[in-house]
């Protein structure tokens, strides 16, 4: 399961661009918590700690605990905005979650055993079609990553989502096909050789 983070926040009494600029000067970011059939309410969160959580990766897939006036809220970041010039966080939207919440998130794919992959050892190239897979998953069971084993993959193989063991309750949002995650492509030199051999064989057959 993805490892979360914790932030301490305060309720925002003022909204608007002027209030937001004042918050940022003090080292805070305006944010909002919404969802779970409860009223949305504006908060301010520390810029330094939130930026660290963003840069660690998985910001949009990790469950966070936000403490506001002594009350803890389980949330997940659904969107954030960066300053167009300084590339600093300027706003975050958080969605409330519970153990019954199902989320749609993108989970990164990690490729295992590249060093023993038959196709790669023969000079093939790992062509990654999808670096991440969008899934529907319970909020309390979001995996850190999905793993695809390359230990048996050979030249020309297409590796599909069915080869990945998904956690219980985790399902791809694409359900109408066994879509491709990666392929093992033959190196250019080998492909040219194969093509030449095929052409030669076809020429011999025609001569006969």
Tens digits of residue pLDDT in 14-34: 777 778 888 888 999 999 999
Length of the chain: 208
Instruction: Provide CATH 2.170.120.20 ranges for the chain.
Output: 103-207
What's the predicted TM-score (pTM) here? Answer: 0.75
Q: For CATH 2.40.240.10, list the domain ranges present in the chain.
A: 5-98
CATH architecture of 103-207: Beta Complex (2.170)
Gap between the Cα atoms of 60 and 173, Å rounded: 17
Burial string for 113-143 (b: 16+ CB within 10 Å, else e) reads eeeebebbeeebebeeebeebebebbbeebb
Read off the pLDDT of residues 76-93 as tens digits, 9 standing for 90 and up. Answer: 999 999 988 888 899 999
User: Where on the phi/psi map is residue 168: left (φ > 0), alpha (ψ -120 to 50), or beta?
Assistant: beta
Give the confidence band of 2 by pLDDT, cuts at 50, 70, 90. Answer: low
CATH of domain 5-98: 2.40.240.10
């Amino acid at each position: 399961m993805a490892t979360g983070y914790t932030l301490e926040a305060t309720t925002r009494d003022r909204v608007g661009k002027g209030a937001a600029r004042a918050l940022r000067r003090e080292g805070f970011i305006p944010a909002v918590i919404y969802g779970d059939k409860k009223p949305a309410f504006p908060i301010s969160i520390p810029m330094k700690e939130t930026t660290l959580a963003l840069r660690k990766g998985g910001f949009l897939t990790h469950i966070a605990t936000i403490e506001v006036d002594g009350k803890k809220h389980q949330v997940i970041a659904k969107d954030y905005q960066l300053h167009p010039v300084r590339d600093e966080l300027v706003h975050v939207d958080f969605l409330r979650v519970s153990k019954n919440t199902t989320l749609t998130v993108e989970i990164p794919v990690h490729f295992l055993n590249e060093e023993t992959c038959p196709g790669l050892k023969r000079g093939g190239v790992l062509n990654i079609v999808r670096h991440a897979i969008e899934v529907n998953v319970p909020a309390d069971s979001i995996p850190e990553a999905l793993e695809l084993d390359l230990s048996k993959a050979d030249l020309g193989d297409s590796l599909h989502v069915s080869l990945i063991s998904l956690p219980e309750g985790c399902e791809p949002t694409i359900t109408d096909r066994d879509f491709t995650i990666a392929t093992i492509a033959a190196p250019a030199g080998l492909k040219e050789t194969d093509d030449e051999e095929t052409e030669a064989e076809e020429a011999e057959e025609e001569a006969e």
